[in-house]
Structure 1
């Protein structure tokens, strides 16, 4: 080997050799990197444009019209309003005055046989007493058709003052507060009937009888008497 040509054994030559190789390799890498970057820069706009074209070409879906945000369900469906008006009429009773008809449950009455026993042929008589227990004087009908006396024996109806009353069936009396009104009632010992006023019905038999009187809002206690048989 020529002594003028450096060999591998020369350290200076080897160092320079590797330095040149490294520089050459670096230059190649720079070129390759530049080419790659250039390709990427050119493809990006194309992809962006293609993406934009695809988006614009796709048909857009038109949303169906619906209620706007400002509309409420009440605007879409209106509920009718129903109004009820109640009219209350209060009836005020007129104040009671003296002489008005006696109020219910303010009259107390009794009917009592004058004797507990009556002889054969003797007509039984009864004392009627009516008392006004109200706060004011009032009127009360003690007539035979309104204040009705009835005589019974056992379950049988014998006589009623409302059947064919003599002198009319009404007799209105002014009852003073707390002052008893009294009258007398007589029985002819015969049966009575509303349909047989013109005829004389049969006389009753001796025995025990009960008398009682009633009127609107008034009912007397029952009283018993006896019709004696002939000796």
Structure 2
């Protein structure tokens, strides 16, 4: 058998060597591409690594302190108008001939703190009207009026200890020492309003005289 290689054709060893060289070249190219992508030595999210991405965690906004626009109420402060409810009271809604209405007042603190007001007779004004006419006012002929500071506990009504008796007559400062005129009756409608230390009753109390 002849071992000579035909003219123009390389031996198998030569082809194998060429294939190995080509494979080595391809492997070198792949390694180079991987190194470019991975970039050894860089650390994503690692501490101190070159090219580390900045933190994306949200930072909390600084706390703000609200400034109160009104002073906070405290126990023992004077009562505020919106914290006091004054109610005019009569013992009946209608009175037969000869019966005299008994007038009183109830004060309620609707706030959250104990407040103070003057609930003495010197600070109380009872007024009886009918239509547009004023028939009687408690201060027209008042005697021995006193001041009395009262602490109102929230939600606890305070009422007159002794009612005022109305004798069904007209009053003026000029009629305190003489006889006074009797007001109309026969089913006439009257209204009672009360003011205590400048706080006025939200509603008037209606009653009838016969």
Normalising by structure 2, what TM-score? 0.57
Per the TM alignment, residue 196 of structure 1 is displaced from its structure 2 partner at its CA by: 3.1
- The answer to whether 1:161 aligns with 2:165 is no
Asked whether the equivalents of residues 86 and 199 of structure 2 are also in contact (C-alpha less than 8 Å), the reply is no
Q: What's 2:148 paired with?
A: 171
Per the TM alignment, residue 218 of structure 1 is displaced from its structure 2 partner at its CA by: 3.1
* Match for residue 123 of structure 1 among 100, 114, 119: 100
Which residues of 2 match residues 1-231 of structure 1 at below 5 A? 96-168=73-145, 170-183=147-160, 184-206=163-185, 207-215=188-196, 216-228=198-210
Asked whether the equivalents of residues 145 and 161 of structure 1 are also in contact (C-alpha less than 8 Å), the reply is no
Q: Which structure has the larger Rg?
A: 1
Q: Distance in 1 between matches of 2:143 and 2:124?
A: 14
CA 1:93/1:188 → structure 2, altered by over 3 Å: closer, same or farther? same
Q: Distance in 1 between matches of 2:80 and 2:113?
A: 10
Q: Distance in 1 between matches of 2:201 and 2:87?
A: 8
Q: Which has the higher contact order (CA 8 A, sep 6+)?
A: 2
Per the TM alignment, residue 101 of structure 1 is displaced from its structure 2 partner at its CA by: 1.9
Asked whether the equivalents of residues 141 and 170 of structure 1 are also in contact (C-alpha less than 8 Å), the reply is yes
Higher helix share: 1
Alignment length, in residue pairs? 137
Per the TM alignment, residue 227 of structure 1 is displaced from its structure 2 partner at its CA by: 1.0
Q: Distance in 1 between matches of 2:136 and 2:102?
A: 13
Per the TM alignment, residue 150 of structure 1 is displaced from its structure 2 partner at its CA by: 0.8
Q: Which runs of 5+ in 1 are unaligned?
A: 1-91
CA 1:199/1:142 → structure 2, altered by over 3 Å: closer, same or farther? farther
Aligned Cα root-mean-square deviation (Å): 2.4
